Copies of this chain bind each other. A is one copy, B any other.
């Protein structure tokens, strides 16, 4: 089938590669508001053809929306106006707002809301990688609002690209995403700013930065145009997690101010329980 990918960046580009590698798409049409990205996606062979939004929708059986979450929520109702029997899926990191945007749309059933849990700190067509999604989880959101055939197509695609499926309601997804993804990005951005502000001797210092530093701070390279809308759409959940995180840092700080060895060990031993979850 022909697949339209709207937004040929990190996720859209990686999705294009996966769909073609597995023979799910025999033709990929790419749409991107950024002309450089559209051209690069063609050059890199991520897409077979670059097109405008309407032309891409008309010739495709599946439309994948892979643009920042604010633009996705704005664009989706118009896309739903244009589709007939086609299936539309998104891959956005926040779900309440986009689900709300088409809740009462007469074609709501043709839309399947999903979130494949994969990403890197890079962005744009050059960031697309083969085999990106294999072994990761994909969440299908509010599945009862989608037509059975549309849901089956999207489930099938995620299974074929090697993802395990989870089902959630939009509000639950957004809360969990705040904990397992959004807060990690905020702490990484803040950690980078901490170090950049205080450490002026960059050359001397960053020779010292070992793997531990790199892993906690690498997400700080992430694209603000992708993340600002996520944080704003998920404001309440992210604030709740951020407040708890600042409280946890203050607990650590109080122990350190008092040289409270036992208190600090207790905080760290509790944190060690993450071993149960992250092997």
User: What residues of chain A have their CB less than 8 Å away from a CB belonging to chain B?
Assistant: 117-121, 136-137, 139, 164, 166, 168, 176-177, 179-181, 183-199, 201-202, 204-222, 224-225, 227-229, 231-232, 235, 238-246, 248-253, 256-257, 259, 261, 264-265, 267-278
Minimum Cβ distance to chain B for residue A203 (Å): 9
A268 near B222: Cβ-Cβ < 8 Å:
yes
Which residues of B are found within 8 Å of A257, using beta-carbon distances? 239
Taken together as a complex, chains A and B put the C-alpha atoms of A222 and B238 apart, in Å, by 26
Asked if A179 and B207 make an inter-chain contact with CB atoms under 8 angstroms apart, the answer reads: no
Known A-B contacts A210-B118, A216-B219; the reply to A256 vs B242 at CB < 8 A is yes
Tell me whether B221 and A218 are in contact (CB under 8 A): no
The answer on a CB contact under 8 Å between A194 and B241 is: yes
Q: Which listed residue (B197, B210, B277) contacts A119, Cβ 8 A?
A: B210
- 16 A–B contact pairs at CB < 8 A? A117-B208, A121-B212, A179-B205, A187-B187, A187-B249, A188-B216, A192-B270, A197-B248, A215-B215, A215-B216, A217-B274, A221-B278, A222-B272, A224-B265, A242-B249, A246-B249
- Assess A271 versus B176: contact at CB under 8 Å? Given A181-B213, A197-B244, A252-B242: no
Report the copy number of this chain in the oligomer. Answer: 2
| Chain B residues in 8 Å Cβ range of A240 | 198
CB distance from A245 to the nearest CB of B (A): 4
A119 engages B212 (CB within 8 Å): yes
Contact yes or no, B208 A177, CB < 8 A: yes
Closest CB pairs A-B (n = 3): A224-B268, A192-B271, A190-B248
A220 partner residues in chain B, CB cutoff 8 A? 268, 271-272, 274
CA distance in complex: A207, B232 (Å): 24
